[in-house]
Amino acid sequence: MRRLPTWLLLAAASSYAFLYLPLIIVVAYSFNDSRLNAEWVGFTLDWYRVLLHDEEMLLAARNSLLIALVSSGAATLLGTLAGLGMHRWRPAWLPLLVITPVAMPEILLGVSLLVFFIQVLHLTLGFLSVVLAHITFSIGFVAIVVRARLAGMDESIFEAARDLGATPWQTFRLVTFPLILPAVVAGFLMAFTLSLDDFVITFFTAGVGVSTLPLQIYSMIKIAVTPEVNAVSTLLMLLTLVLVIAASRMDKGFMRGAG
Amino acid sequence: MPLLEIRRVTRRFGDFTAVDDVSFAVEPGEFFTLLGPSGCGKTTLLRMIAGFDLPDAGQILLDGRDLADTPAERRPVHTVFQNFALFPHLSVARNVAFPLRMAGLGEGEVKRRTADALDMVHLGELAEHYPHEISGGQKQRVALARGLVNRPRLLLLDEPLGALDLKLREEMQLELIKLQREVGITFVFVTHAQNEALALSHRIAVMNAGRVEQLDEPSRIYGFPVNRFVADFIGNCNLLEAEVRAVEADGLRLSVAGLGEVRAPAAEGCQTGERGLLALRPEQVQVAAEADPAWANRFPGQVRDFLYVGDVTTYQVRLDNGYTLQALLPNAAPGRARFHETGDRVMVGWSAQAGHYVREA
């Protein structure tokens, strides 16, 4: 293989440093035996222990996981149907409708959902409104991944199933679904990650009724960036990383489809 | 009663008529081929028989029953697709078992018949492999086994050999003939490869622009084409524009522009004075340094080019009137001392029994 020029390697190294150094520092300080993020004192797991006894934090974590589970489940169902519909009937308007929320600035989506929930639905902001909001922006991601998977498949296998005696439903159950399953799972993991990490839209639609991990972290750093925040951020990062790796292993077209 | 009957079937896509008022019947146990260039409507017709598409007009009958209201999954007709269309998430055995499971057969029966079908195509040892782990020829066999396992009334084959390389294609041709004879299931085969059609079929329907041009046995399609299209599409053919001068007991006297009189075998319904084509197969045309007295038709010419392909040599001979004739000489002919070289003056000729006069409407 040809060696890359030094300047290119340097540029790449500094880009990655810029991206990952802040994350590494957060992780490192979560193990720092000091109340301040100023200097390295010694290794400790105390902050993780504090975290486990922080009732508010635990409640936020439970909310986050529950919201992520429910919203990504619903988004996976709807997004899969949308992906199948886009592939099967190729309506010109559906991709636009489904994908727009993905491209829309989060703050815009957050504000409009807030107005919609309060003024149109007269909904009390809380768990339900956050779940609905998360479903809204996740559907598009699932739909894109599922459609990308279908687009790469040979149409004649679906005809072959019908030809060999399968009803439309049997064709879906025995052929189509098993074949798109990796994309469906990848879409689910993606939606789960997005929901878990979302701050802006959650901030607008949560009201005072419910707190999630990102909201909790934000409210804590308004006072100071404590090592406890570092610890919870580290855990959140770890979970996200696991989910993204799992999603990309599930479906080879995933990185392309979602990007 | 014919097994399959196509009755005045028409299919249009917008302004384009893909299948234009086509009728024919396929007998039980027949190996029937739809042959034609791409876009001639043969695949559209096949898709309508399978149930993936419906005719705009006309009827498709199986065992005398109209199939119009029978969806694809309920027709006792299975298809072998051009790209095999194996289910990538199922093993070879499960692919083959698929139609049996859909038919609701018991597990024991499914196992037994799947094993039988795999043995029939010599793939027993690959049962647990997945489609991406086997070769093109093996996929082809799996697709055949899957199509035949539930004993359909009719097996449709859509260019099934198109995806294979030449050597494998020839092997599979022989295997297809053997298989069809063994199982006794009626095959409707679609191809654009005329040699494949000639080699495999009991009868061939030659299609062009949505219509059937000729329907007959392979040797009659090759030997007695009914029009210019069939003569030109099937094999290589010298086509000479001719006028009928006289119809006699022992044959026709034709007049070919620039050549003069040519004698040809009698043709049905032919009238003195009409114009048509003399279709002359390259293997009917002889080339030699000296004319053979047995040749009823003989003309001087010059070798323009020749193509040596091992078993035979094809010569392009330019006649003195400007026509170029193709002549095919077997290289195994005894006494062949040398080949005719480009530029050689030669005599070309053929007997009065060679060639076939094609009436032009």
pLDDT, tens digit (0-9, with 9 covering 90-100), for B126-158: 999 999 999 988 999 999 999 999 999 999 999
Residue B102 forms contact with A (CB below 8 Å) = yes
Q: Which of A208, A54, A213 is nearest to A129 (CA)?
A: A208
Of A156, A164, A178, nearest to B98 by CB-CB distance is A164
Backbone angles phi, psi at A50, to 5 degrees: -55, -45
The residue among A156, A159, A163, A170 with the most chain B CBs within 10 A of its CB, best to mutate, is A163
Residue B340 forms contact with A (CB below 8 Å) = no
Alpha-carbon dihedral sign for residues B102, B107, B108, B114: positive
Name the minimum distance, in Å, from the CA of B103 to any CA of chain A: 7
**B236-359 fold:** OB fold (Dihydrolipoamide Acetyltransferase, E2P) (2.40.50)
Is residue B334 scored above 70 in pLDDT?
no
Q: Residue A166: its chain B contacts at CB < 8 A? A: 73, 98, 102
pLDDT at B333: 65
Domain ranges of chain A: 57-258
Is residue A253 scored above 60 in pLDDT?
no
Tell me the average pLDDT across B244-269: 87
Backbone Cα Rg of chain A: 22
Residue B71 forms contact with A (CB below 8 Å) = yes
How do residues A16-63 score in pLDDT, each as one tens digit?
999 999 888 888 888 888 777 677 777 888 888 888 888 888 888 899
Every domain of chain B with CATH number 2.40.50.100 lies at 236-359
Q: How far apart are the first and last CA of chain A?
A: 28
Task: Return the half-sphere exposure (C-beta side, CA atoms, 13 A cut-off) of residue A10.
Answer: 3
Every domain of chain B with CATH number 3.40.50.300 lies at 4-228
Residue A178 forms contact with B (CB below 8 Å) = yes
In chain A, how long is the greatest CA-to-CA distance? Answer: 71
* Helix, coil or strand: residue A32: strand
How do residues B258-306 score in pLDDT, each as one tens digit?
788 899 998 888 888 889 999 999 999 988 888 888 888 999 999 998 8
- pLDDT interval class at A259 (50, 70, 90): very low
**B4-228 fold:** Rossmann fold (3.40.50)
Burial grade of B90 (CB within 10 A; 0-12, 13-18, 19 or more):
middle
Q: How many angstroms separate the CA atoms of A99 and A83, rounded?
A: 11
Is residue B335 scored above 60 in pLDDT?
no
- Cα distances from A60 to residues A14, A138, A164, A189, in angstroms, run 36, 21, 52, 20
pLDDT at A92: 83
Is residue A158 scored above 90 in pLDDT?
yes
CA angle A168, A169, A171 (to 5 degrees): 65
Strand partners, B62: B4, B65
Cβ atoms within 10 Å of B76's Cβ, excluding its own: 14
Architecture of domain A57-258: Orthogonal Bundle (1.10)
Q: How many angstroms separate the CA atoms of B336 and B326, rounded?
A: 19
DSSP letter at B131 equals G
Tokens of B270: 């032919």
Which stretches within chain A are classed as H helix? 6-29, 46-52, 55-89, 93-103, 106-115, 127-151, 156-163, 168-171, 177-197, 200-205, 213-221, 227-250, 254-258
Is residue A256 scored above 50 in pLDDT?
no
Strand partners, B160: none
Q: Which of B194, B215, B195 is nearest to B205 (CA)?
A: B215
Tell me the average pLDDT across B93-122: 94
Report yes or no: A191 and A75 within 8 Å, Cβ to Cβ. yes
Q: What is the mean pLDDT of chain B?
A: 91
- Cα distances from B206 to residues A26, A65, B229, in angstroms, run 75, 66, 9
Q: With left for phi above 0 and alpha for psi between -120 and 50, is residue A258 left, alpha or beta?
A: alpha
- Cα distances from B30 to residues A227, A233, B153, B278, B355, in angstroms, run 82, 73, 11, 32, 29
Of B85, B102, B150, nearest to A157 by CB-CB distance is B85
Is residue A258 scored above 60 in pLDDT?
no
